[in-house]
Chain A
Amino acid sequence: MAEPYAESPLATYTDVLERSSVRGQLRIAEEPFLAQVTVRVDPKSPAAERVGTALGGMLPNQSGEVVLAGDLTVLWLGPDEWLVVGPEGRDRDVQERVTAALDGEHGAVVDVSANRTVLSVTGPRARDLLNKGCALDLHPRAFESNRCAQTMLARAGVILVRRDAEAPSFWLLVRSSFARYLADWLVDAAEEYRSGGGEP
């Protein structure tokens, strides 16, 4: 019988990403296998409140808002749509808790963990790097800690999450089939920082 076996979309890129990181300036790495669950429910319904309670923090209701609830991160994706991101293996638990909280009311809970993989881009150069392919203003004044945006990075659709503005730290949630393209683009875009100082 076959053994269950999981390989992340960027499993073969670990070394490549490691080599393109610049100590103290920029670090690019995959955070594979994070649990991701999509939740859709009417934000004004009692069910939405119950879902918030079950997750340990209210569902964010502002565009681009991120709510941290213990080891879970809840991203606003739309006025009635959220993405719950958690550590590897939490997907089943989150799915069951949210489904129980819906209690049969109209809504949807779907495990989408394999849909996207997560790239973390951290360091003082992270914003410069991302702005080479992203039209959003990523300055902390405009895009502060715990904000998210669905946008395009180098023409690939991503969910961009700013985790910390002080020590710039971003998550890029990218569809598995775009992951290697985006990793290639990031490695290429980071080249100038590797070869010293940012001079061309």
Chain B
Amino acid sequence: MLLIHCPWCGARDEAEFRYGGQAHVDRPPDPNAVDDREWGEYLFVRDNPRGRFSERWVHSAGCRRWFDVVRDTATNEMSAEVPSRSGRR
């Protein structure tokens, strides 16, 4: 089990969290201006690196806040957690 550092509550078990996928995926400002291919990529296509990956987590069984972490997908090492810039506090 991963021990995840919530920026508000500190270290808690992974079971208290839900995964929110890749961080910093911005919604196209005008969805009508993009074609189907671009919209499809926004909806479905995500990076899948081996190594450092910015992703979102929510402390669903705790303070219920979203935050971003950088996780190494090869080692599960997590760092640089800051309150999420793209979600609610």
A residues in contact (CB < 8 Å) with B: 63-64, 77-81, 135-136, 149-152, 155, 157
Interface Cβ pair total, 8 Å cutoff: 36
Kindly list chain A residues whose C-beta atoms are within 8 Å of the C-beta of B89: 78-80
The smallest C-beta distance from B4 to any residue of chain A, in angstroms, reads: 12
A-B contacts, 19 of them at CB < 8 A, read A63-B8, A63-B10, A78-B8, A78-B63, A78-B64, A78-B89, A79-B65, A80-B89, A135-B12, A136-B12, A149-B9, A150-B9, A150-B63, A151-B61, A151-B62, A152-B13, A152-B15, A152-B61, A157-B61
Which chain A residues lie closer than 8 Å to B10 at the CB level? Answer: 63
Main secondary structure of the interface of B (DSSP, over half): loop
- A81 CA to B89 CA in the complex, in Å? 11
Report the separation of the CA atoms of residues A149 and B16 in the bound assembly, to the nearest whole angstrom.
12
Distance of A79 Cα from B61 Cα, bound (Å): 15
Choose one: B8, B15, B16, B62; the contact of A79 (CB below 8 Å). Answer: B8
Contact B63 A63 (CB under 8 A): yes
* A78 & B65 in contact (Cβ 8 Å cutoff): yes
Cα distance A136–B16 in the bound complex, in angstroms:
12
The total of chain B residues at the interface (CB under 8 A) is 13
Asked whether A150 lies within 8 Å of B61 as measured between CB atoms, the reply is yes
With the chains together, A149 CA to B6 CA distance in Å? 13
Query: What's the least CB distance linking A99 to chain B, in Å?
Result: 23
Closest to B12 in A: A151
Q: For residue B61, which residues in chain A have a CB less than 8 angstroms away from its CB? A: 150-152, 157
Q: Is the CB of B16 within 8 A of A152?
A: yes
Measured between beta carbons, the chain B residues less than 8 angstroms from A149 are 9, 62
Partner of A63, one of B9, B13, B16, B64: B9
Q: How far apart sit A77 and B28, CA to CA, in the bound complex (Å)?
A: 33
Interface pair B16/A151, CB less than 8 Å apart: yes
